[in-house]
Amino acid sequence: MTSGGDAPGMNAAIRSVVRTCAYYSIACAGIYRGYEGLIEGDFIELTARSVNNIINKGGTILKSARSKEFRTKEGRQKAYEHLRKNKIDAMVVIGGDGSFTGAVVFNEEFNFPVIGIPGTIDNDIFGTSHTLGYDTALNTAVEAIDKIRDTASSHNRLFFVEVMGRDAGFIALNAGVGAGAEEILIPEEDLGLDRMLESLKKSRRAGKSSSIVVVAEGDKSGKNVYELAEYVEENLPEYEVRVSVLGHMQRGGSPSCFDRVLASRLGVKSVELLLDGQTNLMVGLKNNEVISTSIAEAIKGGHTINMELLRVSDIMTT
């Protein structure tokens, strides 16, 4: 199943799980709409040929949903009964930490084998250097910022570009460095608004006529992207400021090659772990090796961002 927010690469992961099952002669069913479909018994048998031509498609052919009912014991009991009725022995959940929490609760209650594949553009899951969809979203953000730069430089403007990331600044920090932003504001650290004003003043003095500031949705400045723009206009009237919120476009689109390869590797590993009698694990990537972490640890672990990138960004704005 795919659950929670959709992410590019989910289809490639579905394909990989299904084809690995076919390779080992195991029957495989897809569960529609995450835990909602599980509670309703909305299943479809998937064969190797059911997943033709989806490796390149964004979104998820199994659809995704958020289910309130799965948070209740009654809902989970219904889900379990559908799994038993359909002779399903194990489940691979492709989703974020919420979906993994649901999987752990379900496993504890019914001793039902589960494996998690991290699928979220935010990259905020412990136990993997990359989540499915992150690389694609990052490239989408960089491409969009490149286009905004054309307008910024033609009109000598300052652009605030908001990218996704309520709790994690991976997209903002990496897209900011990759697109050559003047400043990057992230949820992990409050760098202070004075620093931003100073850096904008410095760039004017250095002869730059346009600038881009990349802001993560959940940045720590206490101001949203529109308030930040107003703040700069009030304090640095020489700047003509515009705002662009990239929004859901970052979640869609054809997955990058990196995400397709990652999805293929993680799908194979998830089925092979189950065949090996292992459960309650999340598959992930570490130093380009496929590894597994206990799901409980993955949920609790939190994420760490590479602050060295902020220093690199500072040097690049000289």
Return the active site residues: 122
112 is an interface residue for ligand ATP by CB under 6 A: no
Contact region for ligand ATP (CB under 6 A) — 99-107, 219-227, 254-262, 266-274? 99-107
40 or 272: whose CB is closer to ligand ATP? 40
Contact region for ligand ATP (CB under 6 A) — 55-63, 97-105, 140-148, 279-287? 97-105
Residue in the block written with tokens 């570009």: 161
- Interface with ligand ATP (CB under 6 A), residue from 2, 5, 37, 116: 5
Which ranges in the chain belong to alpha helices (H)? 10-23, 34-40, 73-85, 97-110, 134-154, 170-178, 193-205, 225-235, 257-275, 295-300, 308-316
The nearest distance, CB 34 to ligand ATP, in angstroms, is: 6
Which residues between 117 and 156 bind ligand ATP (CB under 6 A)? 120
34 or 176: whose CB is closer to ligand ATP? 34
Neighbour-count burial of 208, counting CB atoms closer than 10 A to its CB (0-12 exposed, 13-18 middle, 19+ buried): middle
Neighbour-count burial of 57, counting CB atoms closer than 10 A to its CB (0-12 exposed, 13-18 middle, 19+ buried): middle
Contact region for ligand ATP (CB under 6 A) — 1-9, 145-153, 171-179, 285-293? 1-9
85 or 248: whose CB is closer to ligand ATP? 248
Which residues between 19 and 38 bind ligand ATP (CB under 6 A)? 35
99 is an interface residue for ligand ATP by CB under 6 A: yes
Which residues between 54 and 83 bind ligand ATP (CB under 6 A)? 66-67, 70-71
Q: Which of 173, 123, 206, 168 is nearest to 309 (CA)?
A: 173
Distances (CA, A) of 158 to 92, 140, 175, 178, 224: 45, 21, 17, 18, 16
Pairing of strands 91-95, 157-163: unpaired
Per CB under 6 A, residues contacting ligand ATP are 3-5, 35, 66-67, 70-71, 95-99, 101-102, 105, 120
